[in-house]
Chains A and B, each alone.
Chain A
Amino acid sequence: MSDATEDIPEVDYVEGSGIPIRGNDIDTDQIIPARFMKVVTFDGLGEFAFFDLRFDDEDNEKDHPFNEEQFQDSNVMVVNNNFGCGSSREHAPQALMRWGIDAIIGEGFAEIFAGNCLALGIPTVTADHETINALQQWVDDNPDGEIEVDVRAETVTYGDNEINVSVDCAQREALVEGNWDTTALMKANKNAIEETASQLPYLDQTRSDIEADD
């Protein structure tokens, strides 16, 4: 059995150029419409990120940062509030990651979305409305400008600016220590898991339920 923690990189730092995605409450149906989820792997989802916002019925390109030439190599997305609300589909951060996004800076994120990002090693860091607006504006003016997201120090640097951002404690810890992939970490606690299970009053019953049906 391979030890999954071995190949998990630490993500304490992401750098690259930005791409602004404006608007509050951008939900997962907009990030990846459900019809593209009829797949059994996440491969190839990148091209469908924001699909309905990027293409009209005849598949002609619409105005959207993901279509714009100057953002094609961008990897740091700058968003507004409640980004990623809606469904639990990991297809959403998977699509963004496969398009090329490595980090997201925003006013706020829906919880399941942020958790899904963490499971992929994508930091979701937050700052207030004015700070985000200013950064989005700067990205528009400097599409090739370098943004540095320092997860450990909780700062974002761009141009001559350094701003403080917040990173959820557990997320920060997991990313900088490289233990954001929890499977092996948790599996190692086998005895404690069994101990907890043995204290649960309802557990036997579920087992006998299954056995009764066999």
Chain B
Amino acid sequence: MSKGTLYDKVWDQHKVTTLPNGQDQLFVGLHLIHEVTSPQAFGMLKERGLEVARPDLTHATVDHIVPTANQDRPYSDDAAETMMAELEENVRDAGIQFSDPTTGDQGIVHVIGPEQGITQPGKTIVCGDSHTSTHGAFGALAFGIGTSQIRDVLATQTIAMEKQKVRKIEVTGELDEGVEAKDIILEIIRRLGTEGGVGYVYEYAGETIENLDMEGRMSICNMSIEGGARAGYVNPDETTYEWLEQTDYFQENPEKFEELKPYWESIRSDEDAEYDDVVEIDASELDPVVTWGTTPGQGIGIDDPIPEPEDLADDKVDTARRAQKHMRVEPGDTMEGYDIDVAFLGSCTNARLPDLRRAARIVKGRQVDDDVRAFVVPGSQRVQRAAEEEGLKDIFEEAGFEWRNAGCSMCLGMNEDQLEGDEACASSSNRNFVGRQGSKDGRTVLMNPRMVAAAAITGEVSDVRDLKEVTLA
């Protein structure tokens, strides 16, 4: 059993009691909700005559179904309009704060929490979305939950959970040009497997992680779940505090910043903390990573050959065969040169301001390939505004990208942004599952945002290092 880790400390701090079934009951510091997984939970609550226990610790946004082109109400998609109206009614009845599109604060739930400063170190954070692990970048203990658990949290502000093991993933070495946080996490998942993290929480540590900005740390924690780990976190440090200080919450309550800092420092994993497992990764060896298959664990360096299924572990052979057939790739080839029809720059993994900035540097002065439809979907309205103010929108549009409003968009294809037929997509999102982007024959290649920009320009999966970056004025 782990001892002295951030996970242990935050867990103990929030533990209410042990339930008869052996699970612990944990207090939830922040409950984020959105339109897709909450309506049924509110329904269950009503059925039982229960009320929302702590609306003050609940925060709502709309992201999954929101259209990113025309957001006039009612939405043209009736089902989307119904879901939005349902959420509006639920939050109004319960008195829950709602970052809806008219506030200018709306966006993907895992982008807006950190922006507003409600994501903080040492909080327990839950949301009916598996990528809630993102908030772990701040040293929060954050995990995705199902709808019945959302009901539990709405009704009691607590959740029943079993304590898990902690695996420390120590990342060292300087990143090569063109390689970023996304590549580190894709490599971790490739190495440890998509189910390797089941039963674990991941602590990301080491100098490479410490040198990342908050956005990079969020990209890594975001995809913990793709490695099977329900939560992932980074110990809070000066980088974390600098971010927090700029947020609305601490701008409005500056005294709280000094008041809470000792708590944040106290929950950092101890020097002599004990872990259930430790894994070391040398990031200096990494090339930009792209996926060749239909699970996020099927990744390779841009120069590496696609593996022979038979060379993989026994339990991976079948999945690899099916994936290669679906993707129409051959073992021995590299992914470089793989034809792309769509370039999607978005999602809670990679649609924050620095992601868009880096991609814009590749795109500037170049043109999107004639056969590619390319679009940028900022992670939030704030990211969108900031990007517009510093001219990124113009750069993307001049290159032939479409510039959209904030939402999940083609990350999961629940709104009108979807792949058609067997289109291949260079995507900065987190899942390449069959059917994920809205077409069951669609093909998704996951990569970092600069690699998406490069693919949009060349019309094929390309090594971004071959395209010289243009420095933004």
Give A residues with C-beta under 8 Å from B: 1-2, 4, 23-25, 27, 29-30, 33-35, 37-42, 52, 80-82, 85-91, 93-94, 108, 110-112, 115-116, 119-120, 129, 168-171, 173-174, 177, 179-183, 185-187, 189, 192-193, 195-197, 199-203, 205-210, 212-213
Contacts and interface: CB of A to CB of B under 8 A. Distances in A.
Contacts of A180: 21
A34 B413 contact: yes
Contact of B156 (A34, A193, A205): A193
B22 A112 contact: no
Contact of A86 (B15, B16, B130, B440): B130
Given A110-B195, A112-B146, A129-B315, A205 B256 contact: yes
Interface centre among B25, B48, B295, B433 (most CB of A within 10 A): B433
Interface string B196-222: 001100000000000000000000000
A94 B315 CA distance: 27
User: Top 10 A-B pairs ranked by shortest CB distance?
Assistant: A119-B148, A116-B146, A38-B79, A90-B147, A88-B144, A90-B146, A82-B195, A52-B440, A40-B39, A174-B21
A209 B118 contact: yes
B307 interface: no
13 contacts: A40-B43, A41-B39, A81-B315, A87-B412, A88-B132, A89-B36, A112-B144, A115-B145, A119-B147, A169-B22, A174-B23, A186-B156, A202-B120
Nearest to B293: A25
B126 to A, nearest CB: 10
B295 A25 contact: yes
B101 interface: no
A185 B146 contact: no
Given A23-B318, A42-B40, A112-B130, 18 more contacts: A1-B48, A24-B316, A24-B318, A25-B295, A27-B431, A30-B433, A34-B413, A34-B436, A52-B440, A82-B194, A85-B195, A88-B144, A88-B145, A112-B144, A173-B22, A185-B160, A193-B25, A209-B249
A198 B385 CA distance: 38
Contacts of A201: 122, 259-260, 263
B253 A208 contact: yes
Given A24-B315, A40-B40, A85-B195, A213 B27 contact: no
Contacts of B149: 115-116, 119
B29 A187 contact: no
Contact of B19 (A35, A39, A185, A213): A185
Contacts of B16: 186, 189, 192-193, 195-196
A29 B433 contact: yes
B145 A85 contact: no
B172 interface: no
Given A30-B435, A35-B438, A177-B20, A210 B56 contact: yes
B50 A183 contact: yes
B40 A90 contact: yes
B434 interface: yes
A163 B61 CA distance: 47
A47 B263 CA distance: 50
B49 A90 contact: no
Nearest to B255: A205
